[in-house]
Structure 1
Amino acid sequence: MRIAKINLFAVICVFLLIIGSNSLVFASGQDMPVLKQGEKSEAVYTLQAELKRLGFYQYSVDGNFGLYTKASVIEFQQTVGIEADGIVGEGTWQAIRNYSGNTELSRGKSDRRIGQQIAGFAQKYLGVPYVWGGSGEGGFDCSGFIHYVYGRYNISLPRVADEQYDTGRRIPLSDIEPGDLVFYSTYAPGPSHVGIYVGNGQFIHASSGAGEVTLTAMSKPYYQARFLGAFRVIR
């Protein structure tokens, strides 16, 4: 009887430790259940919270293992070099635990991943009309486009180009990555135009000349001659 009471007390203590934290504390992969798409549980909530902390999951932490959660799991599995099947078993739990131990490395990879996501998200608006003063899906000017896109990722930037300029950290062109801002002196002296670098030597911007959101090569002579610098605002 005494042993049973001790065991019951131990179970209660563990339960209180679990619900008193933001996520389940797992000492090893064996302590966590196998998870796959279609499940809904506290363990899924923990999985989403951990992946979000590491920068792999950008959606609602709701405990529901849906398509977005599976895609994030697969991306994590590919990153750490384990079987990318979207199923969270002992090996994936262990990898999450080990990966979280290197905070600086995780943060750097997370920043690059967010930059790539921003560059991809921005391209959804290709062809949206250029509208002077516009900062919504019905039409953008250059800085309004930047303000809108980054705002969707909870990155607050000033509204106009000359204030967005120098907001982040200036970087050399040799280090530019998707999601970095590129500034130009166009219709007025100083930083009067801004876009988002998307990779492959191109940037996306709301162009008054094109009359819409468009992709342009940074090597284009007009922009090459007016380039002011690149800045990284994702931290």
Structure 2
Amino acid sequence: MNKAARILVMFLMLVCTVSVTYASGAYEQGDEGQDVASIQARLNTLGYDVVADGDFGPATTRAVKAFQKERGLEADGVIGEQTYKALMGREIPASRDSSTAFRRLTQTAFRYIGVPYVFGGTTPSGFDCSGFVKFVFGNSGIYMPRTADQQFEVGQSVSYNRLQPGDLVFFSTYTSGPSHSGIYLGDGKFISATSSRGVAVDRIDSGYWGSRYVGARRVL
């Protein structure tokens, strides 16, 4: 890849990552946790029929839509920056961005465990390693280059002891340099499309992968 092409790839990555960070900061149907319970409790206090159980289900979506309609906001049932501030009286938590994006990435990634390995594959009928990474991130609206060595050039370099869930991890397999890419899950584990088992979860420090690890990049 020439220098001009690399600059273009990094520019597209930056633009797409920024746009996804904004979207992933929203709360919507399917989300769970204490933050959702706090939102539900606030809606309940305002008179909307919703139980603060921490599960953003259809009832919460209906309550959010009703709140948005009364406040003159877009009634889409999604709690983005404007709705959150109107409802909670403060800015949406900044830490929400990467954690939500990671959860959605893993939901997509785990859906395809066991999908067979296909060299050059980029679809659920068969993936190679970088094709899987590209597909999973692309499903969340995040552009990724096609090959592992190109993916190794995006985002920011991160050291092994500072790995976070959602980071890209790279290994040297059939050739020198980064030739295999995966998505770090935390607790020393990552998910990738392997040539032997298809999409699978492995440990970075396992006998096979540990000696082949070459680095990581952070794009979330």
> TM-score scaled to structure 1, two decimals?
0.61
1:201–1:218 CA contact under 8 A, matched in 2: yes
Instruction: Tell me how large the CA RMSD over aligned residues is.
Output: 2.8
Q: How much does 1:78 deviate?
A: 4.0
Aligned CA distance change for structure 1 residues 77 and 183 (closer, same or farther; 3 Å): same
The answer to whether 1:233 aligns with 2:192 is: no
Q: Which structure has the bigger radius of gyration?
A: 1
1:112–1:177 CA contact under 8 A, matched in 2: no
Specify the alignment match of 1:164 in structure 2: 151
- Runs of 4+ in structure 1 off by over 6 angstroms are none
Unaligned runs of 5+ in 2: 1-21, 43-51, 54-59, 72-83
Alignment of 1:101-180 (within 5 A): 105-106=93-94, 108-180=95-167
Per-residue CA deviations over 1:15-57 (Å, capped at 9, x if unaligned) read xxxxxxxxxxxxxxxxxxxxxxxxxxxxxxxxxxxxx757134
Specify the alignment match of 1:213 in structure 2: 199
What secondary structure does 2:191 align onto? strand
Alignment of 1:186-197 (within 5 A): 186-197=173-184
Specify the alignment match of 1:182 in structure 2: 169
Structure showing greater relative contact order (alpha-carbon pairs closer than 8 Å, 6 or more residues apart): 2
Aligned CA distance change for structure 1 residues 221 and 74 (closer, same or farther; 3 Å): closer
Specify the alignment match of 1:28 in structure 2: none
The answer to whether 1:99 aligns with 2:58 is: no
> TM-score scaled to structure 2, two decimals?
0.65
What secondary structure does 2:105 align onto? helix
2:128–2:193 CA contact under 8 A, matched in 1: yes
Unaligned runs of 5+ in 1: 1-51, 59-67
Which of 77, 81, 101 is 2:36 aligned to? 77
1:142–1:205 CA contact under 8 A, matched in 2: yes
1:128–1:140 CA contact under 8 A, matched in 2: yes
